Structures are given as structure tokens and as C-alpha cells.
Amino acid sequence: MINNLRVFVSGEEFGRQDLPRGGHSEGIDRGLQRENGRGSYLNYAGVPVLGVFRCLEHQELVLLVEMPRSEALDPARQLAWTTLGVGLTFTGLLTVGVYLLASQISRPILAIATVATKVADGDLTPVAPVMTDDQVGTLAMAFNPMTGQLRRLYAGLQEKVTLLQQTEVELNQSLEQLQIEKQAVEYHQAQISIANQEITLLNDRLKNENIDLAQELKVSNKLLRQFLEAMPLAVVVVDHLGQLYYTNQAAHILF
């Protein structure tokens, strides 16, 4: 308490000789003006405090209750630091979880894309791994039979090429025999004509099969691109030299 002469008459300050007479602060001044209130201000010693003051008119005293601002705000400051620590921890855990989930989703897609790139480059031996039971796993299971069919078609083409080479050797032998056996020229010419017709048929068949194979590859690539474009995640494929080979629409938007 402080009287109207600005002298402390009770509390910790009562009887202290080091306190100046006529102390001033917002709480003291407003209390002596017969006001009641609270606020944050500097006390008579210049220390920031949170104070409540009340004028006791009949006693001509001012009742002051003050607490250093640092002491009053310490619990709030401690709560803020605790909240920040919990938030950072939760953010870190969430980031790790999102990274692991994204890796789990993108790993089978990248594996299929890698196999598709090798197949497009002419290597038909890789097999797409089936890592999941969802649509990506279904795509891998559908992709492997297509590559198997391509391998069989390629092997058939190789056999036909070998057969054509053998036929060419036989024709050369026939020509040599024609040169030796002049008496059977017409007979051998007929054989050569028949053989040429067979070669023409084989060449036409080979061209048709090459066209069918190219169409199947185009359809497979189109289906794969449609699937990758429909993915909500960004997909980026690079070739064996590290050069950018393909990006889907989500990757264009992201980068």
C-alpha cells in the first residue's frame, strides 16, 4: 500500500530506507487519482511489471499488487517452446511418413518404367517385378506377357531370317549346278522361279508381321503413357545415360 504522500505503508517495501519518497508509476499515479484498474507498466524502480491497483478512498491509500513481467510471462513462454518442439517433432515424423509412402508407391512404377525403356531400346529380356497387389501390380502382370510375346515374335523372325539365308545358299548351289549342267537349264530355271516366288511370299509375310509388331508396340506404349499421365504423382524417366526420357503431366506442373 502507498498513502497520498507516495510513501509505502505496508508490504515488502514498508520501513525500507532505500525507497525514495514521492515514488511514481502508472499504478501509483492513477490510484492516487482515484482510479481502479490494471495494466503493464514500469514500477517506481523502472522494472516492467503487470499490476493491479485500487484506490481506498476512505483510508486515502492505494492498494497495489505487482508482479515482474518476466515472471508472469514465463509459463506462457515455456508453453510456446513446448508447443514449438511438439510441432517440429510432428512435422518431422509426418515428413518421414510421406517420404516412405511416396517411395513405396513410386518404386514399382519406376521399375515398370525402367523395363519399358529397355524394351523400347530393343532389350526384350527384362521382366517387370510384381511388387504390389493394386493397379500397378496388375499393370506389371499384364506387361510381362506382352514382352514374352515380343520375344517369341522376335525369335520367329530370327528363324525366318535363318531359313531365308539357308534358301539363299541353296539357290547359289543351284546356280552353280546350272552352270555345270547346261542340259537341265530350263528345269533349274523353273525351280529358281518357284524359289523366288516363295521368297517373295516370305518377304511379304515378314513385312506384314513387322507391321503388326510395330502396331502392338505402339499400342503398348500408348497404354503405358496413358497410365503414367493419369498418375497423380510426378513420374520422371531417364535413360541409361542419365538424360531425360519422359515426364508425365504431373511432373510438368511440378517442375
The model's pTM is 0.32
Average pLDDT over residues 129-154: 73
Domain ranges in the chain?
2-59, 107-254
Q: How confident is the model at residue 15 (pLDDT cuts 50, 70, 90)?
A: very low
Angstrom distance (rounded) from CA 71 to CA 196: 106
Q: How confident is the model at residue 60 (pLDDT cuts 50, 70, 90)?
A: confident
How far CA 61 is from CA of 7, 40, 55, 88, in Å, comes to: 10, 21, 6, 51
Question: Is 168 within 8 Å of 195 (Cβ atoms)?
Answer: no
Question: Euclidean distance between the first and final Cα of the chain, in Å?
Answer: 69
Average pLDDT over residues 17-42: 74
Angstrom distance (rounded) from CA 55 to CA 98: 61
Query: In this predicted model, what pLDDT tens digit does every residue of 159-200 receive, in sequence order?
Result: 888 889 888 888 888 888 777 877 766 777 787 788 788 888
Q: How confident is the model at residue 14 (pLDDT cuts 50, 70, 90)?
A: very low
Residue 21 pLDDT: 58
DSSP class of residue 17?
T
**Mean pLDDT for the chain?**
77
Query: In this predicted model, what pLDDT tens digit does every residue of 86-137 receive, in sequence order?
Result: 888 888 888 888 877 777 677 777 777 777 777 777 776 767 667 666 676 7
Residue 22 pLDDT: 60
Q: How confident is the model at residue 18 (pLDDT cuts 50, 70, 90)?
A: low
**Statement: residue 19 has pLDDT above 60:** no
65 strand-pairing partners: 52
Average pLDDT over residues 232-238: 75
